[in-house]
């Protein structure tokens, strides 16, 4: 036991580099002797991954924003209960590719749900577990979508939304960063190594 672990989430629009940077930070932290797990949302546990399949596949209009928010939070409840909270209690660092701020940006800013409702739902799902640090990988929505398009797969339900939707998401993230002091904005348009260096410096500065 080495005290409580640290919880770092990575947020940003499609293709902003979240998955790339989660893995790079994990390597750097492990080199320094930390126990680290990487995980993602929606998903991260068997049950939550089943819910993920409902959310990321199929027609864009398949769910309303409200249903989406409930499904995201159902997945998050399982993820927090079975993986994130136990890991933190064992002193393990948890690096999570998307978490609650994505719900605020996608189902809140872009789909129009009230943030008060989403925060209440977050409390029900997680008993109020927020990250120690949230890294916002900020970039132009169109440039991010162009990067994301280079990958293959069938998890395209959100990517198929129009550019206006993705601009709302990116603007939503920026607006949240202005009021959430545990959220740090990183320019995701830089070269991969420069982004990684900035994130590592932030982690050292804020989490020690």
Interface residues with Mg ion (CB under 5 A) are 18-19
Tell me if residue 140 falls in helix, strand or coil.
coil
| DSSP state at residue 152 | -
**Out of Mg ion, ligand ATP, none, which partner does residue 45 contact, by CB within 5 to 8 A per kind?**
none
Least separation in angstroms between residue 55's CB and Mg ion is 14
Nearer to ligand ATP, 124 or 194 (CB): 194
Least separation in angstroms between residue 5's CB and Mg ion is 22
Residues flagged as binding site: 12-19
3-state helix, strand, coil in the chain (%, to 5): 55, 10, 30
Cis ω on the peptide bond leading into residue 67 (within 30° of 0)? no
Q: Point out which span in 42-50, 75-83, 171-179, 191-199 binds ligand ATP (CB under 6 A).
A: 191-199
| Binding of residue 131 to ligand ATP (CB under 6 A) | no
Q: Point out which span in 64-72, 80-88, 100-108, 187-195 binds ligand ATP (CB under 6 A).
A: 187-195
Q: For the chain, how long is the longest CA-to-CA vector?
A: 47
Nearer to ligand ATP, 54 or 145 (CB): 145
**Distances, alpha carbon 51 to alpha carbons 56, 79, 91, in Å:** 9, 11, 28
């Amino acid at each position: 036991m080495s005290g409580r672990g640290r919880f770092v989430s990575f947020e940003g629009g499609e293709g902003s580099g979240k998955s790339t940077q989660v893995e790079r930070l994990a390597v750097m932290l492990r080199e320094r002797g930390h126990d680290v797990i990487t995980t993602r949302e929606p998903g991260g546990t068997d049950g939550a991954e089943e819910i993920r399949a409902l959310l990321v596949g199929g027609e864009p209009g398949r769910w309303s924003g409200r249903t989406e928010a409930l499904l995201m939070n159902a997945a998050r409840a399982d993820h927090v209960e079975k993986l994130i909270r136990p890991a933190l209690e064992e002193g393990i660092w948890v690096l999570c590719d998307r978490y609650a701020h994505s719900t605020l940006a996608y189902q809140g800013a872009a789909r129009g749900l009230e943030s008060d409702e989403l925060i209440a739902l977050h409390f029900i799902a997680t008993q109020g577990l927020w990250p120690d640090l949230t890294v916002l990988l900020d970039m132009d929505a169109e440039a991010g979508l162009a990067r994301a398009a280079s990958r293959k797969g069938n998890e395209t339900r959100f990517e198929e939304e129009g550019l206006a939707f993705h601009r709302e998401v990116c603007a939503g993230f920026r607006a949240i960063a202005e009021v959430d002091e545990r959220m740090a904005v990183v320019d995701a348009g830089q070269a991969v190594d420069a982004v990684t260096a900035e994130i590592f410096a932030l982690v050292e500065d804020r989490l020690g």
